[in-house]
């Protein structure tokens, strides 16, 4: 998909990856970028100076996502590209509280489900559209120190796969973005930890890679190409990969 003259929605646009993508999409000639975030002031700051509008949205609420889609379609026109990008991290394992598990599940998984639920029928009826779901390399591998993050990002990848398989013949393109460490608020407290083992990427650099991948209509977007090698090692010998990850876990726990 060429982004020129497109209407694009980006959730989590107040900062980090979302802000970088929104600004890059506008630079690529998008007719309108909708900067959606629970932080309306931050979304407005992203939208300032570009062809964009800011809308307050809590992606943990289906009604908010439904209203976002209906508002954009009614006020501005058909959504060409919907970037379901907002996400959070929660530390810990199975002992994390039920409230933490539910919140990260709603934001990291159900937000993608709700966007597809309300937008796919519209896109299918008009012959196509594009969904970009932000997951993580943790959804292909795992996340040391965070079961909720690893589990929800695996689910996000699985959903993107299903959407691509099920709706591809309706003209709906799907990409899933799976970066490792990106310099955002989520990684600010742990710049040298597990997540940055292959280096910390800047959001603007990642946004450029996303644009190129959307133009090529690639399903799996890997800003850190070494993740593909890790995936191959994992599938070639799962037991050996688990053993290697246990060593890595001991390294960072110690």
Active site residues: 149
Look up residue 92 and give its DSSP letter: B
Look up residue 144 and give its DSSP letter: T
* List of E strands, 57-171: 81-84, 129-134
Show the CA angle centred on residue 94, arms to residues 89 and 96, nearest 5°.
Answer: 50
Q: How far apart are CA 112 and CA 62, in angstroms?
A: 10
- What phi, psi does 220 have (nearest 5°)? -100, 115
Mark residue 145 as left, alpha or beta (left: phi above 0; alpha: psi -120 to 50; beta: remaining): left
Name, in order, each residue with C-beta under 8 angstroms of 19's C-beta and a sequence gap of 6 or more: 13, 35, 42, 46, 203
**C-alpha distances out from residue 63 to 44, 60, 118, 125, 225, Å:** 21, 9, 10, 22, 37
């Amino acid at each position: 998909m060429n982004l020129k003259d497109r209407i694009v929605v980006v959730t989590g646009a107040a900062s980090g990856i979302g802000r970088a993508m929104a600004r890059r999409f506008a630079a690529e000639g998008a007719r309108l970028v909708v900067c959606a975030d629970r932080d309306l002031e931050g979304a407005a700051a992203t939208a300032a100076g570009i062809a964009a509008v800011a809308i307050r949205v809590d992606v943990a609420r289906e009604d908010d996502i439904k209203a976002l889609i209906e508002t954009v379609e009614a006020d501005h026109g058909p959504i060409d590209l919907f970037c379901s990008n907002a996400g959070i991290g929660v530390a810990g394992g199975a002992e994390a509280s039920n409230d933490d598990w539910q919140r990260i599940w709603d934001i990291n998984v159900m937000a993608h489900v709700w966007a597809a639920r309300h937008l796919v029928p519209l896109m299918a009826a008009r012959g196509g559209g594009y969904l970009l779901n932000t997951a993580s390399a943790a959804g292909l591998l795992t996340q040391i120190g965070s079961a909720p993050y690893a589990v929800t990002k695996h689910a996000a990848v699985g959903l993107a796969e299903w959407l691509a398989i099920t709706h591809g013949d309706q003209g709906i393109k799907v990409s899933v973005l799976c970066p490792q460490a990106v310099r955002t608020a989520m990684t600010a407290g742990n710049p040298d930890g597990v997540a940055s083992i292959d280096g910390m990427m800047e959001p603007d650099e990642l946004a450029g890679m996303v644009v190129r991948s959307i133009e090529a209509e690639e399903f799996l977007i890997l800003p850190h190409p070494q993740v593909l090698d890790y995936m191959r090692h994992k599938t070639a010998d799962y037991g050996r990969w688990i053993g290697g990850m246990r060593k890595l876990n001991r390294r960072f726990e110690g």
